[in-house]
Structure 1
Amino acid sequence: MNSQLKNIHPLSWTIIVGTIFGRMASSMSIPFLSIYLIKSLGASPSETGVVVAVSSLIGVFASFYGGYISDVIGRKRVLYISIFGWVLVFIGFGMANQVWLFFIMNALNGLCRALFEPTSRALLADITPQESKMLVFNLRYAAINLGVVIGPILGLQVGASESGLAFYFAGIVYLVYGLVLVFQFILHKEVGNAGHGAGERLTLKGAMQVTGRDRTFLYVLIGMIFCVLGYGHFSSTLAQYLEMTPGIQDGAKLFGYMLSLNAIVVLAVQFPVVKFAGRFSPIVPLLAGNLFVSGSLLLFGSVHAVWAFLVGVVIFTIGEVLMFTMTDVLVDRIAKPELRGTYFGVFGFINLGNVLAPLLGGFLLDALGAGSALLIFAIIALTTAFGVPFLLIANRHLSAAQPAELANGAEAKLS
């Protein structure tokens, strides 16, 4: 472990530490967006669903291009564009006073995330030795959740469900994060520049054809869309449900504590779960995680008591850890090295689940009402579980490919 920590590049540490503060700042405000729109602007659940969904919708189409252009023009330029763009976006959130303005700002928020996320993960993969990659990806995931432990509690303190102050704070944090990245890239000029491999030679259409022909990757991608669909209901449908249900007092406060509990549980179970899951094919944890998330959604709609919501968060979080801690390692394993950014970018299509979650949840809440919780959450649990067959097929493809990889490796050593 100590030797692996020493192998971590300073830029990787910058991204990991920056992720803590960036996610802390954004989770002070963005998770409360649904409640803020309903409570302060009088938006309907369907309108709120559209505003929340647009971020992921933009992300679905932009993340592939963001990953692709980072292979062509360099990681550094894409990171600069996205992180300083975020500064302007959060200031725009703070100044917005109409639903349509929040729609535009959240669309731009999705664009920045779609550029930054695949590019930063590809950069981590570029500058990290193979034996340290799982550690680095898991440190990044832990950093996300450490930020989310603190962010919602701070958001409650500044009244994020009623005020725009938290948005300005996020803008300042991302400005500092961006300036630190600029400084680090100046110190390490050899990192993050445009490469000279296949990423430059392939057109956008050609890159899509390469990833589209990768059957294992394609089945993982489809299965993960349904996983993310279930995951997306936590911050959209569940948040609205808690605010709309008369029997639940101060739903925003309860949801804030649930967000923090979610992050605390991630930090507590992440490394033990990853160590255990490492004994299996990387797709097996995704399968188990899907079932955990589906079960927790069913519990949210079945028992209307604070203890049940908290137990549901624990079950949901274990599923989340199983689903998301292995995905970066899995994509890096499947991807062709010269198209790593492209693969991470295409994997952004899993955010289609985040697009569908608020739309489906908002429609069900409008059509059936919060009083039909069991039916609503049973439907969304079932749609989440639709990912299981695709992940099973992907696991079969991956298992079939392993003997061929081992044979090729043995031949290379002999030659």
Structure 2
Amino acid sequence: MTQHIFSRRTLLRGLGVSMALPWLESINVWGDEKTGAEKASEAPVRLAILFSGNGFHSKEWWAKGEGSAMELGKVLAPLHDFREKLLFIQGLYNEQALKGNIHSSQTGNLLSGAPLASGGDIRSGTSVDQLLAQTYGRSTKVPSLVLACEKSNPSVHKNYSMLYSSHISWTSPTTPTPLELYPALAFDRLFKDEVQKGDQSVLDAVLSDARDLRRQISTSDQRKLDEYLDSVRDVEQRIAGAGKKGELQGWRPTLDKPNIARPADGIPQNIAEHMKLMCDILVLGFQTDTTRITTLKLNNDHSSLRFPHLGVDYMIHHLLSHSDTADWLKVNQFFVEQVGYIARKLDAIQEGSRTALDNSMLMYCSSMMTGNHNNDQLPVVMVGGGGGRIATGKILNYRDQPNRQMCRLYLSMMDKMSHRPKEFGDGKEPLNEV
């Protein structure tokens, strides 16, 4: 097709439903309209921040070398296939997180570098994802998705609110961004015109429109559309079955079995399925340009999750983190597997000359280096090319450098999304190497 007859807001529509399209070679979905023989505009840069609490195995979070010859410690083994699209970053830290108590004051300012209020008061700083949502995110249906797999903890720990341990995304200094724990509601935010419970299948509602579109696009784009619709159907079906079986996670109740019927559309009790669904929803949001910014909190700092599917059901996550056992390594790898799962799915989505992973930045981090609460440097790994703007396959070490603020990394990430504040948190300039 030499003329792009679809606007950048092209949608598949049904009653109460609208599904944005993925990047298709034969139509223009994103960016300014172009005419003549020009190709459709390039895909946008996306940002996903993934977090797990309590750090990692002290002897197995490492990387050596570069490119395809890079060696990864056992914690990062699930990212082996992405060594050439990876940045391993050492030495960055948040100075304000060294003040106050452990856990809460190490987490609540992770994405802002802001000082935290104590005494049970709530005051942090607007996080980098929400700053971008207020600017870069305005061009999409959902400015940002903030997903979680463990509910917020409202208690107080050593004079600091545990809300700090439960939230890394902050809409304002006094407002932690609400967490979406329910896969069904997160899915609805992407595809339904109103987020509410409903029995109608999103895919069934748009099939007629999809068939009409299919007749107007190229054969290769027909395959891509079919793959996308299949992905949506798969997520729908898994959400419908979520929670019907599986292991309990977190604190154990006194009952062995529930004494009431399970409510519909609940949180999956199988933590592996819960996380996988949230990862799939993240990918769908990026694939359709419904959102360009997603924060996925896999668990809290000071987490109470359990992992029966790993054979690790005798101790909660927080207590496991205090020793370098083989079971702690299993749990670490399970979390990193979620990053690898997202990366693999994005890398399979072709967007012109690049993949969706090449057009994205996936940052994975924790609140401390190990479960012993040491956060004089933070564990950070990034996957993806940021729209071809990041040179990957490298190890960056800032450990002995004077200006190693974590917020400098955020300035670099914002730069890739064409948002360039003069400073952010305690960061005054971006990292030149990112």
Query: Normalization by structure 2: what TM-score?
Result: 0.28
* Structure with the higher fraction of residues in helix conformation: 1
Query: Normalization by structure 1: what TM-score?
Result: 0.28
